[in-house]
Every structure is written in structure tokens, then in C-alpha cells.
């Protein structure tokens, strides 16, 4: 089975089977039947892509209420440290975070269910990041958490004084002040 459980329930690593030959490689990046056979039922409606340079940190973002989103994230070029924070109040791992290195080389993907804040930090000179969402973006429902929240104490594996962060992300609230 191409799924690996993380210490946080419902947060899954997807590791596709890759076929290599003299021409290069081939793999299925997504197959709805594979996911449904594993008990994961999600209907993706939007694909997004971003290109960023070394040290760019995007996040931690989420959407609220009826516009909450599940995401399937992956890296097409380069490497990132991908982070998800459990914001589900009923979850035994509420407030805990998980990180994983995703790269074009390892082809791993992270499934981030609804109820999580999500972000990533570029660890290579450039990174091309792509993700599927199961709901449409809604500015009225967007929220976020500070990437440097001392309560969360996320290990970004990078000197945070050297990161490039948008002004919007610099002023996000700390954990506990969010409105999920």
C-alpha cells in the first residue's frame, strides 16, 4: 500500500510506485481508486502551483467552516520542509505539528486533511510546489498561524532570521488566538 501513517491521525504520506527505465521514470501522482481503496474519500476540485526560492516560507494557512480544505501536496522541482498543524479541537493531537521533507527526488506527497494549518519552507535553490484542494479558495474563510509561534515551537530546520515571509504571514495570530 502506498500510504504511510504519521503520528497524527488522518495525516498521510503517499509514496507512489515509480517505474524506471532507460528513458527516465513514470508514476501515477494521483489515482482516485487507489485512495478510495485505502478508505480515503476526497474529491479534488482545484490544483495550485507555486515557484519559490531558497528560504521562502509560506504559511501556516487554513480555511474555515464550509470552505475548509483538504490538500494533497508535492514538489515538482527542488525540496521543501512541509509542515501541518492539527487544529481539530476534538483530536488527541490538537496543537501538534508534523513535518516532512518533500522533494522532486523522493516524489513523496503529504495528504493534509481538513482541520489543519499548512505551510512549507524551501530548502533548495528553487522549488516548484503543487497541490490539489478539495474545496475552492475563499478569502472570506482564510486563516493562519504564525510560523514562529513559540507555543508550537516548530523546527523548520532553517535559520528563521534568514527566511523570506510575506507581510501577511508575518502578522498572523499565534496558536490559541486563531478562529478555526
Active site residues: 61, 131
Cell of 40: 480515503
The residue behind cell 495570530 is: 173
C-alpha angle with apex 24: 21 to 28, nearest 5 degrees? 95
- The phi and psi torsions of 49 (rounded to 5 degrees) equal -145, 140
In sequence order, which ranges of 18-137 are alpha helices (DSSP H)?
32-37
In sequence order, which ranges of 55-175 are alpha helices (DSSP H)?
167-170
Query: CA 81, CA 145: separation in Å to the nearest integer?
Result: 17
- The phi and psi torsions of 36 (rounded to 5 degrees) equal -65, -40
Instruction: For the sheet with 116-122, list strands across it.
Output: 97-103, 79-86, 116-122, 57-63, 142-144
Residues 6+ apart with CB under 8 A from 166: 58
Amino acid at each position: 500500500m502506498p500510504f504511510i501513517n504519521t503520528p497524527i491521525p488522518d495525516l498521510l504520506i503517499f509514496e507512489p510506485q515509480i517505474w524506471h527505465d532507460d528513458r527516465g521514470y513514470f508514476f501515477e501522482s494521483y489515482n482516485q481508486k487507489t485512495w478510495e481503496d485505502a478508505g480515503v474519500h476526497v474529491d479534488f476540485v482545484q490544483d495550485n502551483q507555486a515557484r519559490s526560492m531558497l528560504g521562502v516560507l509560506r504559511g501556516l494557512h487554513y480555511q474555515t467552516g464550509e470552505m475548509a480544505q483538504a490538500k494533497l501536496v508535492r514538489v515538482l522541482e527542488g525540496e521543501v520542509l512541509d509542515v501541518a498543524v492539527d487544529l481539530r479541537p476534538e483530536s488527541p493531537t490538537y496543537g501538534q505539528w508534523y513535518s516532512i521533507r518533500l522533494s522532486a527526488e523522493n516524489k513523496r506527497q503529504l495528504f493534509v486533511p481538513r482541520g489543519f494549518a499548512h505551510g512549507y519552507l524551501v530548502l533548495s535553490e528553487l522549488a516548484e510546489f503543487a497541490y490539489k484542494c478539495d474545496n475552492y479558495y475563499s478569502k472570506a474563510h482564510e486563516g493562519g498561524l504564525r510560523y514562529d509561534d513559540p507555543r508550537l515551537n516548530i523546527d523548520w530546520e532553517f535559520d528563521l532570521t534568514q527566511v523570506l515571509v510575506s507581510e501577511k504571514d508575518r502578522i498572523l495570530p499565534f496558536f490559541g488566538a486563531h478562529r478555526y
